[in-house]
Amino acid sequence: MEKLEYFVVQPSIKTFGGIKVDKNTKFDVYNDDKTVHQVFNKGVLTTHIKRELNYNDIKSTETSKMETQVPLGTVLLWDETNGYIIPNYNMVKPEEAKELLSKIVDITKPIEDGTKKAMEG
């Protein structure tokens, strides 16, 4: 019988620029093409969007304002098109990811060793 091994989804090595919100976080920024203006103050991210689109001679104008209450510790990632965004995934720094992966080895190694002994015995 084959030895039982544990596998994980290969971690992404893509990095993202961003900030972790704390009580002192404050900014007033525009995205690269100046269609998105964002202000962050006192835990509130205010996003103003004004874009003109033209597709197959159909012209559209998008104008919006969104206010988002952002809890302390939230990671905001920078996107050239949309400004700061709240990611759909829990983001960690590379050092934290390395620590989490080492914990997986600490947990699975004794299980693999026990399974191996049981299969041999």
pLDDT at residue 44, rounded to an integer: 98
Going from N- to C-terminal start, the domains of the chain cover: 1-16+91-121, 23-72+79-84
Task: List, in order, residues 6 or more apart from 39 with CB less than 8 Å away.
Answer: 27, 28, 45, 46
What is the reported pLDDT for 105? 77
Give the pLDDT confidence score for residue 29 in this predicted structure: 98
Q: How far, CA to CA in Å, does 104 sit from each of 49, 76, 107, 109?
A: 43, 27, 5, 8
pTM of the model: 0.73
Residue type at 89?
A: Y
Q: Please choose, from the candidates 64, 18, 23, 63, the residue with its C-alpha nearest in 3D space to the C-alpha of residue 44.
A: 23
Across the chain, which has 121 residues, the per-10-residue mean pLDDT values are 74 89 97 97 98 94 97 96 94 88 77 62 60
